[in-house]
Amino acid sequence: MIDLHLHLDGSLTPADILRLAELSGISLPQQTEDALRPLLEVTPGCRNLVEYLEKFDLPLQVLQSSQTIALSVYFLLRRLKADGLCYAEIRFAPQLHQKCGLSQEQVVSAAVDGLNKGIAEFGMPAQLILCCMRGDSNRDANMETVRVAKAFLRKGVCALDLAGNEYAYPTNTFADIFAYAKELAVPFIIHAGEAAGAESVWQALSLDAKRIGHGVRSIEDPGLVKKLAQLQMPLEMCFTSNLQTKAANEQDYPLCDYLQQGICVTINTDNMTVSGTDLRTEYRLLQKQFGLSADTLEKLCCNAADSAFLTEEQANALKAQISRNFAQWLA
């Protein structure tokens, strides 16, 4: 009922894309929802994270105006509410939405407008996470993302993230970005332990990340597993996505190992459209694959409430809501 690792551009439906393309005046390669779906969703033959990330190209084309950015957040909140979620943190990279001249501040302002409209209409609380991007020529853009996150912190934005090709661009390359975030008191998450191994997670910890995006390959280092448990560092695990990007395989997926070690695991979708999933499906898949009890699944959901960028009072209210509604939601 809580999704903490959810990418905006990877979670828009084909119907959303058609509507946003119409508003943008963009001609799509296909004009029906069924025909668009293969362009937005990975196939079972997806070979790695790089191939997975190709599915973001089309959504980004229609997310280059204030109007479409605001609508995309609104559309996603509507979808999440219909799926029975009670809270979400939605992430995107402002620097990827500047092809038509918007500043990062304008991009985020539009997203906040869509967020506020969705919250008011659907009654589901949510916040935004701004992604810095891995790369070798975008330091200034990343620094600007940090400044914009500070300007909108607690005004719709709750944190920063680092996303992109983790294998090609090691986490510690971005130490200065997150030193600046710490200077401005902006909390941050880092994608780590997905395309790269345990060393990437160690680097994220050394930079003082508040959560680890994915972290599925932490299992490669027993010392790291113990450290994550000691710190009670939340892992934003995304089962279907992790299998599709070949970060893990189904038989050796380390969820139960992490639970046995006492790590704070959360369950998330990553990209609902790209991965062809939703949060309820993820919980049911894990229940079937690992024989998890209803109590364990509910605890995973409560972990998400405790790990969210919320006050203790807000987290407790969410956990009370989960306790009342989780069994019915999962059924």
Q: What would the two tokens of residue 93 be? A: 């990279």
Residues 237, 242, 245: CA angle, nearest 5 degrees? 150
Backbone angles phi and psi of 89, in degrees to 5: -120, 115
Catalytic annotation, residues: 194
Q: Please, what is the angle between helix 139-152 and helix 175-183, to 10°?
A: 20
